[in-house]
Structure 1
Amino acid sequence: MSRERVAAIVPAYNEEANIACVLQVLCDVPEIDQIIVVNDGSLDRTGAVAAGFPKVLVIDQTENQGKGAALKVGAESADADILLFLDADLIGLTVSHVQQLIEPVLDGETEATVGIFDGGRTSTDWAQALAPFLSGQRVLRRTLLTGVDHIDASRYGVELQLHRQLKRMGKVPKEVILKDVSQVMKEEKLGLAKGFAARMRMYWEIIREIPRI
């Protein structure tokens, strides 16, 4: 009996320096049947770097539309019943981490998982300990996306939208500890001032989704 197909979806905006490490890990995971990068209007070589991996399907968006829209495009393009969402700027990700996220859904133990950083960096560990539902590392069955409200307009608020959807359906995602995994901070990518401004925009996009939970 053949197993269900799994598609990995990686939304990316100006991640030329970081995305290759994530994609190399995904290419080495035997349970993953399809890898999709949604290049969300990047101004750098993100799309070209992703296209350098033969297993990766790159979807180029001419303008930046936000993380929610990128995930929606990726999900609609995926040929799989199980979807893996991963950020493009992860540090320390391994094949084992990805398998730990996928296997509980593949095995029928749960319909969704969410990855929680632990032991990577204090800043990212604390953020996810306080609000694990904001993690961008998750696996879920495609059927759980049915009826998600305005996901394409939610930008960084997409994690709250997914949390709301699962809560509405009575589904509790299994938390999977991603030991020694973290991600590149915005201040590291953009410099202190621009990175802080980008972080504040991200927080605002998340906060404005809270009333809809």
Structure 2
Amino acid sequence: MAEISCIVCAYNEGERLRDILSAVDGHPALKEVIVVDDGSTDGTDALLRDYPGVQVISYGRNRGKTYAMSQGVAAATGDHLMFLDADLAGLGRAEIDSLAAPIETGRAKVSISLRRNSLSLYRAIGLDFVSGERVIPAWLIRDQVEVMEALPRWGGEAFINQRIIEAGLRIEVVDWPGVSNIRKYRKTGLLQGVWAECSMVRDALRVLSPVGLVRQNLQLLRLVNRRRVVAQLRWPLDRRETSAARRAGAGPFE
């Protein structure tokens, strides 16, 4: 059975973080829960004292998500790492079960969430390349902590994606139709939110060129367990089309 360390990176997420901790604290699928407080100034430290079973890593200056991820990786002891963003709405214990299931059952080596408000393009192709909710084997990045510390603030997912590709790990996408992430403009206002979103894109491009990002996305898609994706996503397919496909032996519906 996989030993999964759950890493949550938080910066001024307030009560949203409490909702995440309610889903993961004491969850039987998780060996440990690690919260990295990335220099929060909103009383996050006081909130965390309500969860004595959660390991807390904190430091005084905001260093960015990728640095926070690296500190969680350095502290984790499990053979798998589950990353969760702290700004999710609608996350429950069932979603944690579903994200862990592909690893526990051996169907895939990596699982990645597809949230309700993932970009329409990502939902159409069945993979959110920049999803912050994923499970990966710890060996993939355990020796890359110093490298991650030096990456741009929002470069972590692009870096991990490249490691997944290089290792050729099979991916299962897990549909989370009841979960969405809170957009930055709703937390900080329109101008700051737009600036933050642009900064995320800029940082990804500092890890890989535009051509490199497109190539990475195509390479990731080739690793997706297609049969499981269709089964998980529960798209509103016409039942007659689905039955006909089954009778014809079409692979994705088997």
Question: Which residue pairs with 1:141 in the alignment?
Answer: 137
Q: Alignment partner of 2:37: what SS?
A: strand
Query: 1:165 corresponds to which letter in structure 2?
Result: R
Higher RCO (CA-CA < 8 Å; seq separation 6+) = 1
**Aligned residue among 148, 151, 160 for 1:151:** 148
CA distance in 2 between partners of 1:73 and 1:43 (Å): 19
Deviation at 1:208, TM superposition (A): 1.8
CA distance in 2 between partners of 1:128 and 1:34 (Å): 30
Higher helix content, 1 or 2: 2
CA distance in 1 between partners of 2:190 and 2:142 (Å): 39
Q: Deviation per CA, 1:59-114: give whole Å up to 9, x if none.
A: 00221111111111101101211111000010111111111111211222221111
**Aligned residue among 191, 194, 199 for 1:193:** 191
CA distance in 2 between partners of 1:100 and 1:151 (Å): 27
Where does structure 1 differ by over 6 angstroms across 4 or more consecutive aligned residues? none
CA contact (8 A) 1:154 1:161 kept: no
**Aligned residue among 96, 101, 126 for 2:120:** 126
Question: Which residue pairs with 1:110 in the alignment?
Answer: 108
Percentage of pairs with the same residue: 29
CA contact (8 A) 1:115 1:177 kept: yes
CA distance in 2 between partners of 1:185 and 1:174 (Å): 25
* 2:31 paired with 1:43: no
TM-score (normalizing by structure 2)? 0.76
C-alpha spacing 1:23/1:164, structure 2 compared with 1 (3 Å): same
CA distance in 2 between partners of 1:31 and 1:172 (Å): 21
C-alpha spacing 1:34/1:146, structure 2 compared with 1 (3 Å): closer
Unaligned runs of 5+ in 2: 217-254
Deviation at 1:168, TM superposition (A): 0.8
CA contact (8 A) 2:7 2:83 kept: yes
**Aligned residue among 90, 98, 102 for 1:92:** 90
Deviation at 1:28, TM superposition (A): 4.9
Q: Deviation per CA, 1:19-55: give whole Å up to 9, x if none.
A: 0001101125211121100001112112221232122
CA distance in 2 between partners of 1:50 and 1:140 (Å): 25
CA contact (8 A) 1:22 1:88 kept: yes
CA distance in 2 between partners of 1:133 and 1:195 (Å): 20
TM-score (normalizing by structure 1)? 0.89
Cα root mean square deviation, aligned: 1.9
